Amino acid sequence: MALKDLWFTPAFEDAFPKGLYLIGEIAAVTEFSADRSAPKRQRLDFDRDGNGTGKRLWKATVTDPTGRGAKDSSFDITFVADVQPVPSAEEAVPGFIPIVLEGLQIKPKVAGSGEFKSMGFTIRATGIAGDTSGAKQAPANPGASRPAAEKAA
């Protein structure tokens, strides 16, 4: 079935009408290694067939105020970006930072096992609105791309 690997791209306001709150820090997603002494490697956005963006993966835990019950109110989001996204808003209450996702993608999946299966979602984004970490834009006036007239000055 062609819909197996289909990502939906809803508007943020449609998917999360009351917004989202970041809980804790955004951290790198690392690859598993059986060798405990091996250095940790950050996972890149590639599937088993080698398809993907090749960008780094970051994971964050968020809470949705419209969630129905404890099971649906908090979940993880994966960010696909070269640089770790940084929220620009201040904490609404200690430990909760309001965020708006950019480049939102949602894919349905089966969650649970055995007779306790339910509908779940894999949620990805490319960044956070208002982020100034460099995840979405190049640094201001980098030397290599500076016009020749400015270099000679």
CB hemisphere CA count around 149 (13 angstroms): 0
Which residues fall within 8 angstroms of residue 105, CB to CB, at 6 or more apart? Answer: 7, 8, 9, 123, 124, 125
pLDDT in tens, 101-120: 999 999 988 888 888 888 88
Instruction: Report how far Cα 51 is from the mean position of its chain's Cα atoms.
Output: 18
Domain contains 45 = yes
pTM to 2 decimal places: 0.79
Residue 42: inside a domain: yes
Per-residue model confidence as pLDDT tens digits over 117-127: 888 889 999 99
Whether 151 maps to a domain, the answer reads no
For the chain, how many structural domains are there in total? 1
